[in-house]
Structure 1
Amino acid sequence: MKKGLRRTGLTLLFLVIFLPLLFVLADKIWPLPIKQIEMARTVVAADGTPLWRFADKEGIWRYPVKLDEVSPEFIEALLTYEDRHFYNHPGVNPFSLLRALWQDVSSGRIISGGSTISMQVARLVDPHDRTVTGKLKQLWRTAQLEYHYSKNEILEMYLNRAPYGGTIEGIGAASWVYLNKAPDKLTSGEAALFAVLPQAPSRLRPDRYPLRAQAARDKVLDRLAEYQVWPIEKITDIKQEQIWLAPRKSPNSAPLLARRVVKDVQDSIIETTIDAGLQRQLEDMAMNWKNQLPKQTSLGLLVVDHTDMSVKAYIGSIDFQDNSRFGHVDMITAWRSPGSTLKPFLYALAMDDGLIHAESLLQDVPRRFDDYRPGNFDTGFNGPVSVSDALVRSLNLPVVQVLDVYGSKRFTAKLRNVGTELRFPLASEPNLSLILGGTAARMDDLVSAYSGFARQGKVSPLRYRPTDVLRDRQLMSPGAAWIIRRIMGGEARPVPDSSLTAQVNLAWKTGTSYGYRDAWAIGVNPRYTIGVWVGRPDGTPVAGQYGYATAIPIMNQVNNLLLARLYQSHLSIPKDPRPASVSQAVICWPSGTTLPKEDSNCRQRRLSWILDNTIPPTLMAKEQESLLGLRQKVWVNSQGLQVASDCPNATEKEIHLWPITLESWLPVGEKRINRLPKADPECPPLRAEMPPLLISGVRSGEVLQRLPGKTSLDLRLITQGGQGHQWWFLNGEQVQETNHNGTILLTLEKSGSYQISVLDLGGQVTSVDFKVK
């Protein structure tokens, strides 16, 4: 009796003390292999919609979900059908095991395993064969699961690992692949169907075998009816629903963005700021444009909400799967020539620097800067133009004139300070050609900088993920940004505040690189900044492809879509009020300043936006600084004739003259020789005593011909008379400087009309017009 009690006591002691110790020891020796399972990585949109997935090393895609991110009805259907006592048993349901054992023994084969949810998770975590040894292994892993994890954690493991056919695992991935919806949006019928699919995912695939899937779903519904989990009326209604699903489709949106954001992130779910609906619409739009663009041409398209700098759509190539168009190359991060897209920034910075205002007089005339000789896109010249006109028409010579004064290195540094880097050829420094595209930039940087026109001059790097921080830096003043945005939006002419529009629907700028390699359009609407690039990623020229013809139609289509979505969604539309630093003033050409109405020096009146009540005078080109300038003082008598300062009744008069380089484009009455008063023969000015300035070597109106077999014409010209240093201009472009009675040799290679002008230190100007055939 005592021995029996002792044996019983030792047995109990073993069970109570040593068996748990043995379990803990075994758990250390054979730990659960859960950490060895690699979760796939999924890039998702702002609303959680999967955009792109990166499968694990075995090619499996899982979309991790939490218990509260799944439809409650799915949980009800799953537990009712698979494991009603899940929350009450220790991982193993002995009644289910006994029932399964009886069925297996009586039939001579394994019919049912009696597996609980915990046991199924154990098999998923550590697969085993369907033998007695395998079953024991499963029971051991089940015990470990129950020891280490709570019931909810085990249920979450099942939700994320249950097989749904092929490479799809977990209710999250299955819901998105089959239904393109989040698992918390499942209908009752879908919840019942997805509860049973893991039993035979390939045999029950609803997109291939809808009748089999429907029969399996109805079995789940019958079980729910049997245990009165769902009302019988609800189940009857669900059974009337036929199963029909489109072929399953893995997430395949924004692949190049996904490749970009996944680099530095290890999370299984990588959140982005992308608007999934907008992204799909623009991808469809890009595919439609694919057939309209030349072969091997790609497209880059970027949409940013500039209220918070979040990226809403990202299309790095026209078709990711099209190797003939280099679909794998992300043109949003590619370094390309920006064409003319940098011009608005220079005008804004020059405005902040007090060099120009919106209607400042600039010179669209031929010019040479050392070895650099820029031209306009249309190869013509317009003479006197305003800043606003030069920007709207994207004229090249005026903007080069401004950059020559502002400084190429300074301009490059300003952009770099806000994150817009410009690249130059090896061993090359910033130069005047950069403003016309003689540099390289990235679309994401350009779109970021353009957002400054809608953000009071502040620029921040783009935000691709919700966790990205907004880091603002001031590029230009709010006033300069506002003025340039209005000019780009077609509202250059000042109007009263009562007539000023609250928003600019679209302010835009195009760009075309040398050789038609890059076609750009960048626009700013009330809420979004849009970037469009079209071209061949390998840099091959595409004749006739330029910004206005190729990129603008795409940008307009995108803008119309965005504005329609904006008004339909009832999102706030930011206003564009005039900053206090911006006002308007009437200015006069050629001086560029304000003058009284009766002043004869106001040769052309213009209404202009001005900044900080500052009206800078007309910007002179560097080579004009040593000339007599635009303001020449003379002495006149009562008849208005020019006299010497010591003549009777002589009064001083200031006459505003046009820049000498514009002579060829001015009406006859505005030319310098006609603007200056004629000399009084009775008391002439000292200058009148000088010999007249003459040009020898060609006569006005003469037609010159090249010698036979020659492709150019050499023309030697000499001056006579005049005073002091002389400046020579060919068609308004300064070509040489000589001393008194100087000689120059011109080589004319093109046929056409020419004008040669000479200005001397005394202010005399003479010119000769001739033709070359």
Structure 2
Amino acid sequence: ASLAYFGKEPKRLTVSESALLVALPQLPEKRRPDRNLKIAHAARDRVLTRMVSSRLLGEREAARAALDDVSDLRRTLPALAAHAAYAMLPKAVPGQPLQLTIRKSVQEGLEQVAKDAATKLGPRLSVAMVLADSRTGDILGEVGSANFFDASRSGWIDMTKIVRSPGSTLKPFIYGLAFEQGLVAQETLIDDSPVDFSGYRPKNFDMGYQGDVSIRQALQLSLNVPAIRVLDAVGPTRLMARFRQAGVSPILPVNEAPGLAIGLGGVGVTLRDLVQLYTGLANGGKTHALHDGTEPANAERTSATILDGQANWQIIDILSGVKPPEGALQRGIAYKTGTSYGYRDAWSVGFDGRYVLGVWVGRPDAGAVPGLSGYVSAAPILFDGFVRSGLAAVPLPGKPPGLFLPRREDLPVPLARFGAGAAGLVQATVTSPAPTIIFPPDGARVDLGTNSVDASPLVLKLQGGRAPFRWLANGKPLVGIDRRRTATWQPDGAGYSTLTVIDAAGRAASVKVFVE
């Protein structure tokens, strides 16, 4: 009350001001000077009179105090970083200041961004944000909700610490491990088409498929099927171990081992967890445990490597090429979005050469929000948050010395297509039908005019099988591996020939024809 009505601490109050504050608790609403000035004035004077009669104050001093005006101003109390301030209460010692790592200017900017965004998003939706320095782990700004005092949005809940599904935001680390292990290059082709992993059938967010895409495109477009194909090769257990090494322990369903679903948000993490993981991407692969000053005094400040330097830079290079949301100011950041199953959580996490900002949007009660998505709902807040934080932009790092990024045509055979062996054939579990040569049919006689100068080639057609395919005529390979289900063959003379096709799973089909 002293700060609200007079803008100063109690020990600096005048007699008149002290008397007013003594009068307020009996009828706090009725005697508020900003609402009922005359009633407040009379209540103060009665307190002064009682002080004189109780010999706590002299008559002259009371008379002078009664001449002071009663201000009708009530100041808005500062409520920056309300959740962090509340968390500091157990550490409070009378007379001793408490120090947070939060910067006032950054916090003010982020809180305003969150309030503005929540207003646009609509009722019951909230926004949480965490901005950290990747080089130290210091949290420079954290917004637990759009408005701490807004009950309609459950504003008292600190959503930076609530476990939710991260959607696609963990995909960069899947590809990062694949780069580390030499399983892929940025231009490696990978198949984005329906696939079955022993009953688990991942689908893309838009329910469509792109066919052949590069690893770079797969991550930038956040395609689900390629990410799960790569995770299957990397290993879910290895991915989880790397997260734990970085100080983050995603929550799995009870009694479940890490599975492929973790790549699409099948684990629980907090916004703080995500930002901590992304400090590694912004800091050359080395994460720092986040802290804001509310932690116990003996809390350990740890750091760990989540990706090696070259793999880490390749992820930065890819994410920096993701298209910003429409209307966003260009800042030179790399970022990733995510949307949880059922449209319950929208995420966006981005970074420049030093600072990491994470954004969560959703309902605190975990209700579904049709149309909610990371790119549409959270990414604009991310870009706005970076701008209004007031922090100077730090350029993303340049390519590390010794890192070679080959063009697609220069890739060695095993890296040209994901899952290909030395021969270039994909080694994968296949659920498609075995290949069948439908033309020419077995036993056919085909007149190609082989005795003439203008002999025609024979068109070969197949059904089923898994691309790519390799054709052979009499045991000799035709042109290189091809994904098309048609090919041509130019016989070197008349007579019987055996035509064979082999698909990516090693399944073969043959026909015997007579060419004349």
TM-score, length basis structure 1: 0.49
Residue 204 (structure 1) shift: 7.7
1:495 equivalent in structure 2: none
**Are 1:586 and 2:413 matched, yes or no?**
no
1:566 equivalent in structure 2: 392
Mapped partners of 1:617, 1:536: distance in 2: 51
Cα pair 1:590 1:618 within 8 Å, conserved: no
Distance 1:628 1:376, change over 3 A: closer
Residue 482 (structure 1) shift: 1.0
Residue 326 (structure 1) shift: 1.4
Alignment of 1:257-336 (within 5 A): 257-263=84-90, 268-336=96-164
In the TM superposition, what whole-angstrom CA distance separates every residue of 1:138-159 from its partner, at most 9, and x where no partner exists? Answer: xxxxxxxxxxxxxxxxxxxxxx
How high is the sequence identity, in percent, across the aligned residues? 30
Q: 1:532 is aligned with what amino acid? A: V
**Are 1:511 and 2:324 matched, yes or no?**
no
Mapped partners of 1:179, 1:536: distance in 2: 36
- SS of structure 2 residue aligned to 1:292: helix
Alignment of 1:333-372 (within 5 A): 333-372=161-200
In the TM superposition, what whole-angstrom CA distance separates every residue of 1:555-589 from its partner, at most 9, and x where no partner exists? Answer: 11112223x5426xxxxx36612212422222339
Residue 473 (structure 1) shift: 0.5
- SS of structure 1 residue aligned to 2:98: strand
2:244 equivalent in structure 1: 416
Cα pair 1:261 1:464 within 8 Å, conserved: no
- SS of structure 2 residue aligned to 1:269: coil
1:483 is aligned, of 314, 331, 341, to 314
2:55 equivalent in structure 1: none
Alignment of 1:615-694 (within 5 A): 620=426, 622-623=428-429, 642-644=473-475, 656-658=480-482, 663=483, 671=484, 673-674=486-487, 677-680=489-492, 682=494, 687-688=498-499
- SS of structure 1 residue aligned to 2:190: strand
Mapped partners of 1:617, 1:434: distance in 2: 32
Cα pair 1:418 1:473 within 8 Å, conserved: yes
In the TM superposition, what whole-angstrom CA distance separates every residue of 1:653-706 from its partner, at most 9, and x where no partner exists? Answer: 685425xxxx5xxxxxxx15427x455454766x43x7xx9xxxxxxxxxxxxx
Mapped partners of 2:138, 2:276: distance in 1: 10
Mapped partners of 1:620, 1:338: distance in 2: 31
Cα pair 1:459 1:473 within 8 Å, conserved: yes
Mapped partners of 1:415, 1:618: distance in 2: 33
Q: Give the structure with higher Rg (CA).
A: 1
Alignment of 1:439-458 (within 5 A): 439-458=267-286
Count of equivalent residues: 423
Cα pair 1:401 1:621 within 8 Å, conserved: no
Mapped partners of 1:617, 1:324: distance in 2: 61
Alignment of 1:362-401 (within 5 A): 362-401=190-229
**Are 1:556 and 2:369 matched, yes or no?**
no
Q: Unaligned stretches of 5+ in structure 2? A: 22-32, 42-68, 324-329, 435-464, 512-516
In the TM superposition, what whole-angstrom CA distance separates every residue of 1:343-372 from its partner, at most 9, and x where no partner exists? Answer: 011001111011111111111001111221
2:259 equivalent in structure 1: 431
Cα pair 1:316 1:330 within 8 Å, conserved: yes
Mapped partners of 1:490, 1:348: distance in 2: 16
RMSD (CA atoms): 3.9
Q: Unaligned stretches of 5+ in structure 1? A: 1-165, 169-173, 184-193, 213-241, 493-502, 568-572, 595-601, 605-614, 635-641, 646-652, 664-670, 694-725, 728-733, 735-758, 766-773
Mapped partners of 2:72, 2:141: distance in 1: 28
Alignment of 1:537-548 (within 5 A): 537-548=364-375
Residue 395 (structure 1) shift: 0.6
Q: With a CA cutoff of 8 Å and minimum separation of 6, indicate the structure with the bigger relative contact order.
A: 2
Residue 200 (structure 1) shift: 4.3
Distance 1:584 1:280, change over 3 A: same
- SS of structure 2 residue aligned to 1:515: coil
Cα pair 2:357 2:382 within 8 Å, conserved: yes
Cα pair 1:362 1:618 within 8 Å, conserved: no
2:349 is aligned, of 522, 530, 550, to 522
Q: Give the structure with the higher percent helix.
A: 1
Mapped partners of 2:344, 2:355: distance in 1: 26
